[in-house]
């Protein structure tokens, strides 16, 4: 596996199945809780459908992510033919700027909420997925590197071994530029060789998978009250962020 040996990811096998299916976890991920910010309309859909969506990395809007994905998967080499999907989370729970970055933009139709789940629950959900789908799942922390290092890593993939190729792909997808270090990002990744589709869905029991919903402080009292009311039917604690309230 071709990676920068000063910062390797020593993946821990969680479960292995037939046809090379596996679930792997980054042992450096030690914090128990993970957080994900998304529009309320999408969070509500998770509870209504009991499914967690992993979106195709090739279609992520961030131009850096597209550039990195193209460099890894869209040229001859051991990663050719693989389709990567992912869901982005964070270990950061107390930073107000996260609400602003996630919540403002012309495409936002509903307020932002933050869902919280346990890393162990995410691993267990991935274990259920490999029982019904051919592919591999990885849960790991993003590592932040200088741009020259990233370019060197992307170039070296073409010469990499064909053994443990999904592990190499996941390792590469857990690299970003140093400018993004503040994100403290964690990713749940899925790799398979099926034709590209609009997402990979993991069946979950949403009311136990999600332990808490928190509403952005940048919303109106009416919107906050409406979301709390709707959440009552799902039986999951729902709070409004108090990060902008004056000290008592």
> Would the pTM of this model clear 0.85, i.e. be above it?
yes
pLDDT tier at 77 (50, 70, 90 boundaries)? confident
- pLDDT tens sequence across 18-58: 888 999 999 999 999 999 999 999 999 999 999 999 999 98
pLDDT tier at 5 (50, 70, 90 boundaries)? very low
What pLDDT score was predicted for residue 227? 97
| Beta bridge partner(s), residue 142 | none
The pLDDT of residue 4 is above 50? no
What pLDDT score was predicted for residue 208? 96
The pLDDT of residue 3 is above 70? no
Q: What percent of the chain has pLDDT over 90?
A: 60
Q: Is 135 left (phi over 0), alpha (psi -120 to 50) or beta?
A: left
- pLDDT tens sequence across 211-224: 999 999 999 999 99
């Amino acid at each position: 596996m071709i990676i920068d040996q000063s910062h390797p990811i020593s993946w821990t096998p969680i479960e292995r199945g037939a046809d090379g299916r596996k679930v792997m976890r980054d042992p450096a991920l030690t914090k128990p809780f993970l957080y994900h910010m998304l529009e309320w309309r999408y969070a509500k859909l998770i509870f209504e459908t009991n499914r967690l969506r992993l979106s195709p990395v090739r279609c992520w809007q961030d131009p850096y992510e597209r550039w990195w994905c193209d460099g890894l998967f869209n040229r001859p080499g051991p990663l050719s033919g693989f389709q990567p999907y992912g869901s982005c989370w964070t270990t950061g729970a107390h930073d107000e700027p996260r609400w602003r970055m996630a919540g403002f933009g012309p495409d936002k139709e509903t307020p932002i909420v933050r869902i919280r789940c346990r890393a162990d629950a995410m691993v267990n959900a991935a274990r259920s997925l490999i029982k019904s789908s051919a592919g591999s799942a990885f849960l790991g922390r993003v590592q932040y590197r200088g741009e020259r290092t990233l370019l060197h890593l992307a170039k070296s993939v073409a010469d990499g071994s064909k053994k443990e190729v999904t592990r190499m792909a996941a390792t590469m997808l857990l690299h970003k530029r140093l400018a993004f270090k503040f994100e403290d990002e964690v990713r749940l990744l899925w790799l398979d060789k099926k034709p590209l589709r609009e997402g990979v869905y993991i069946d979950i029991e949403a009311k136990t998978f999600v332990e808490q919903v928190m509403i952005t402080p940048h919303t109106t009292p009416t919107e906050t009250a409406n979301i709390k009311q709707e959440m009552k039917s799902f039986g999951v604690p729902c709070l409004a962020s108090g990060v902008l309230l004056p000290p008592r």
